[in-house]
Amino acid sequence: MRGPYLLFVALLPLGSAGCSDAARTDEALCAYCENDSQCGGNPCFQDVSGMRFCGRSCDSCPAGYTCQTVAGTGGLAQSCFPDSEACTPEMVPGGGPDEPDDAGVVPLDFGTPGIIVSGPVGPTGGMVDRLVFGIAGDTRPSTCGGVYPQTIINNIFTGMRNEGVQFAVDQGDHMFNCGYSAAAAAGAQKQMSQYVAAAALLGKTVFMTMGNHECTGESTSLCTLASNGANPNYTAYMDALRPIADKPYYRFDVQTVSGKAVFLIVADDVWDDAQKSWLTAQLTDADAHAKYTFVSKHHPDGNQDHPEFQQIYDLVRQHKYTLFLTGHSHLYKRQFDDPRAIVVGFGGAPLAGGKFWGYGVIRQGADDRITVTIYDQASGNAMDNFTVAPQ
């Protein structure tokens, strides 16, 4: 039976080409895997979700696990197995959709979270026939240190998986955590761990965008790259992002049958001259060499929390782009003055003008046009659909 509690074990990065036996040890218990060879001699078993995770030898089962016979990809073997039957979070029954009840959570060590890396598209990109990827933003709690909207974000990544996405790009704000104490540091790690656990349900690489809540959460000051170690939120976010990038802004390319797709992830809360030069150079290169250019940043057009936010938007609009993806406003909408810009801040944060929590799936058609479909995470119903030309 599933236990009535939330269980999380830190997930480790997984390369798209697989890992050697030496890279997988007993420390990889409940890390996402595809076969036994990625688990250092331990079985790669299925939990109740149907996804596969690494086991551990039975002589060192931690609390919450017992030794069981499991089916790895190479056959039956003995392994530590979660008593809850799930390596990913289990919610207490009775929680509401926006404020699930987390009473009775077993206080396990959350460790350092890390986004999994798996699939045909990894940290530096990849190659696919035609693009199919997911988008969603603003998965934070409604209050500082409040209950994480786990059910909603679990539904989002499960819905993306069911739609067959190859990877996902989020639009920021993965936490709502305050302060600089040791307790605040633990709170930031916990919330990022909860996001990482939900992202693991997709089983593919998730490219995160930095939001203001990964900085101070305030509108009075930006973060800096030197904030790592001093700001619990920024530190926890960068720990989780590390399998993808060592800076909060980065690029990856995906080669498609029709040409290159460039993805530019902008961190507007650490905007400085170095990032401005980087973004200008990347946009210029994409103008010359990309079939598609997708830009993700947290704050939408018109946001004046910092003057830099609009400067970034105006800079991007001097170049060609397929879609400009933003969040921060807790709703889904198309920007009224830009048919290529959408706000997707409806990932679990308290709605502000929106009517549903959900996600989008972006598909490259046989005619090379890009179709955006927006889904309600609760019902799975399509709520909006539109297409744009490549550039």
* 369 vs 366: CA distance, rounded Å: 8
Domain-wise residue ranges, the chain: 1-90, 121-388
The pLDDT value given to residue 99: 36
Q: Sheet holding 292-296: strands in order across?
A: 121-122, 125-127, 250-256, 259-265, 292-296, 323-326, 341-344, 332-334
Give the Å distances, CA to CA, from 44 to 11, 32, 59, 65, 111. Answer: 14, 8, 17, 16, 21
Using CB atoms within 10 Å of the CB of residue 28, give its burial: 0 to 12 exposed, 13 to 18 middle, 19+ buried. Answer: buried
* 131 vs 57: CA distance, rounded Å: 40
Q: State which amino acid sits at residue 172.
A: G
- Burial code (b: 16+ CB inside 10 Å, e: under 16) for 119-149 equals bebbbebbebeebbbbbbbbbbbeeebebbb
* 102 vs 83: CA distance, rounded Å: 18
The pLDDT value given to residue 218: 66
Helix (H) or strand (E) holding 236: helix 232-241
Beta strands in 223-340, from DSSP E residues, in sequence order: 250-256, 259-265, 292-296, 323-326, 332-334
Q: State which amino acid sits at residue 92.
A: V
Q: State which amino acid sits at residue 243.
A: P
Give Cα 278 to chain centroid, integer Å: 23
The pLDDT value given to residue 190: 95
Contact 206, 167 (CB under 8 A): yes
Kindly give the confidence (pLDDT) of every residue in the chain, 391 residues in length, as a single tens digit, with 9 standing for 90 and above.
333 323 333 333 333 333 333 333 456 788 767 788 878 789 988 887 667 788 999 988 888 888 988 889 998 899 999 888 887 643 222 233 333 333 333 333 445 679 989 889 999 999 999 999 999 999 999 999 999 999 999 999 999 999 999 999 999 999 999 998 999 999 999 999 999 999 999 999 999 999 999 997 665 678 988 888 889 999 999 999 999 999 999 999 999 999 999 999 999 999 999 999 999 999 999 999 999 999 999 999 999 889 999 999 999 999 999 999 999 999 999 998 899 999 999 999 999 988 999 999 999 999 999 999 999 999 999 999 999 999 9
Into which CATH architecture does domain 121-388 fall? 4-Layer Sandwich (3.60)
The pLDDT value given to residue 3: 33
The pLDDT value given to residue 18: 33
Q: Which two tokens stand for residue 179?
A: 């302060």
Nearest to 64 by CA among 148, 111, 6: 6
Helices 307-316 + 273-289 axis angle, to 10: 20
Residues sharing a CB contact under 8 Å with residue 108, sequence separation 6 or more, in sequence order:
7, 8, 9, 63, 64
Q: Compute the residue count for the chain.
A: 391
* 368 vs 274: CA distance, rounded Å: 34
Contact 66, 81 (CB under 8 A): yes
* 54 vs 225: CA distance, rounded Å: 34
Give the 3-state secondary structure of residue 80.
Answer: strand
343 φ/ψ angles, rounded to the nearest 5 degrees: -105, 125
pTM (predicted TM-score): 0.73
Q: State which amino acid sits at residue 270.
A: V
